[in-house]
Structure 1
Amino acid sequence: MAGVDAANPVIKVVALSGSLRKGSYHKGLIRSAIELSKEAVSGIQIEYVDISLLPLTDTDLEVNGTYPPEVEAFRQKILEADSVLFASPEFNYSISAPLKNAIDWASRPPNFWAGKAAAVVSAGGGFGGGRAQYHLRQVGVFVDLHFINKPELFVNAFQPPAKFTSDGDLIDAEVKGKLKEVLLALKAHTLRIQGKH
């Protein structure tokens, strides 16, 4: 795990996007979070992990306690992380199939989500992906993730002024400020869970 220097712990965060689209706003939120971690939020290191290559969850793929190589690599990333940043789109009032698939794979015995701090951000129309966030929190209860309660970040991506470019890059200063607050809260929550705060 990260955070070996007790005086200046570095929180190792894995970031997952539930949207696979190239110009995804959710990937844009993660890119912005990574930039903020380098410029404005010290002591936090964020790594984006692509979940698009994971096969569909199928226990027939588990052989003698091992998993397919892509799954093993993904599970290892989760195991080594201190906490998780989810960027979760809302599909039909719920989380996306790719994100649920990733969660299911890493929850197979042994459950690598257990005991980790987590935060979730989203973008979309209307409620800005809020229903997906609340559904993800329900899933988190079962897999023993510990989500920050506040601040919450729901970005209404379609209400002027523009929040993202056509490539999905976040350009709204107010949203960036709120995203920074989420990262600071995730860092503090992680340190509390680890008994270092």
Structure 2
Amino acid sequence: MTEQQTPLRIVGISGSLRKGSLNTAALRAARDLAPPGVTIEIFDIADIPLYNDDVRTGNGYPEPVQALRDALKAADGILFSTPEYNYSVPGVLKNAIDWASRPPEQPFDAKPIAMMGASPGVLGTVRAQTHLRQFFTYLNGFVLNRPEVMIGQANSKFDPEGRLTDQGTIDFLKTFLASFADHIRYHQRAKSRH
């Protein structure tokens, strides 16, 4: 089996809890457009409680948090799809990252990470993604720098059922996902040499 045939498992996380979320729709599109051998499993963060370290130190991780940590640890890479709220990352996404990043063995360390965002606005979540990148500087996640996926005016690029219909965006997502797979394999090779 060649390196390009080695299966890759990516965990996808949407930063929105909305049923009709454009970012969850973008994540589903990415799952459906993933290159051969790449699987994207979407993890729903809706059941993650508000972060309170007294809970962790007193009783351990709540079950949904432990499930998230286990999924992230087992993944070859992590794909975030985030909306932008008030020029930044939504609280629910920050909350999930705060829970998952607590010791021991925080699962973002040396993990390949990619991000994208969809917005009805023209900037397509550029500010939120900038803040999200900052988190992983501290957590030592290996963020894919390019290509950047900022789906602006996204409400015109998905149909009422949440299916991506814009061919230019479809083609760009395919390029992005192939780049992310290469990014993951690059870091896997680097890790195996050490």
What TM-score, normalized by structure 1, do the two folds share? 0.90
1:112 to 101, 107, 110: 107
Is 2:63 the counterpart of 1:66?
A: no
1:98 & 1:6 partners in 2: Cα distance? 39
Alignment length, in residue pairs? 188
2:90 & 2:49 partners in 1: Cα distance? 15
2:58 & 2:8 partners in 1: Cα distance? 33
Q: Structure 1 stretches of 5 or more lacking a match?
A: none
Is 2:158 the counterpart of 1:144?
A: no
Q: Structure 2 stretches of 5 or more lacking a match?
A: none
For residue 189 of structure 2, what is the aligned residue in structure 1?
A: 195
Of Structure 1 and Structure 2, the greater helix share is in: 2
Flag the 1:158–1:117 CA change in 2: closer, same or farther, 3 A: closer
1:155 CA drift (Å):
1.0
1:143 CA drift (Å):
1.0
1:168 CA drift (Å):
2.7
> Which amino acid letter does the alignment assign opposite residue 60 of structure 1?
D
Question: 2:22·2:154 contact (CA, 8 Å) conserved in 1?
Answer: no
Find runs of 4+ consecutive structure 1 residues off by over 3 angstroms.
none
For residue 86 of structure 1, what is the aligned residue in structure 2?
A: 80
For residue 22 of structure 2, what is the aligned residue in structure 1?
A: 25
1:167 CA drift (Å):
3.4
Question: 2:16·2:92 contact (CA, 8 Å) conserved in 1?
Answer: yes
The within-5 A match list for 1:96-175 is: 96-109=90-103, 110-124=105-119, 125-157=121-153, 162-175=156-169
1:157 CA drift (Å):
2.2
SS in 1 for 2:115: strand
Question: 2:13·2:80 contact (CA, 8 Å) conserved in 1?
Answer: yes
> Which amino acid letter does the alignment assign opposite residue 101 of structure 1?
N
SS in 2 for 1:62: helix
1:182 to 153, 168, 176: 176
What TM-score, normalized by structure 2, do the two folds share? 0.91
